[in-house]
Amino acid sequence: MKRLAFLFLIAFTGLGLSAQESNSFEQKTVNLIKLTAGQQFDVMTEPLVNMIPQENRAAFKKELVESTNGLYIKMAKIYMDSFTEEEVDKILEFYASPVGKKMVNITPELTKKGMELGQAWGMELQPLVEKYSN
């Protein structure tokens, strides 16, 4: 009986470790997404925030952040289908390097400039779209 209990204990301990490892991989992946996309979400949601009356912005931002946390977990599952834990570790290692930190720091400004450029390009395309829409 003791032997059977011991085997169950080992089996459940192994399952627990497997779940912890999975959660660790998920948490690393969430951290990667926060590093690479978190600030971009801030830039992309800025127009939404600006639509909210000043007196409601703090509450809106709080709920927006809570919403993005759920989004990060869902996105992590997508990333985990494409990257191994070892690959995520290597990517995180890059972002911990000086050039990786620089990239994280300047990405929001690059995103903002890219969005502005994309909007201007879209306006330039309007005549072309109209030409072929008729």
Half-sphere exposure of 42 (CA within 13 A, CB side): 12
What is the rounded distance in angstroms from the CA atom of residue 76 to the CA atom of residue 30? 5
**Which residues neighbour 94 within 8 Å (Cβ) at sequence distance 6 or greater?**
100
What pLDDT was estimated at residue 15? 37
- What pLDDT score was predicted for residue 4? 37
**Mean per-residue pLDDT, 15-19:** 38
Whether the Cβ atoms of residue 41 and residue 112 lie closer than 8 Å to each other = no
How far is C-alpha 86 from the geometric centre of its chain's CA atoms?
Answer: 18
pLDDT in tens, 54-88: 999 999 989 988 888 889 999 999 999 999 999 99
Angle at 110 between CA 105 and CA 116, to 5 degrees: 145
Mean pLDDT over residues 37-46, rounded?
Answer: 81
Q: What is the mean pLDDT of residues 103-112?
A: 89
Average pLDDT over the chain, rounded to an integer: 83
The alpha carbons of the chain give a radius of gyration, in whole angstroms, of 22
* Length of the chain counted residue by residue: 134
pTM score, whole prediction? 0.65
Q: How far, rounded to the nearest angstrom, does the alpha carbon of residue 80 sit from its chain's CA centroid?
A: 12
Q: Judge whether 29 and 80 are in contact, CB under 8 Å.
A: yes
Token pair listed for 70:
């759920």
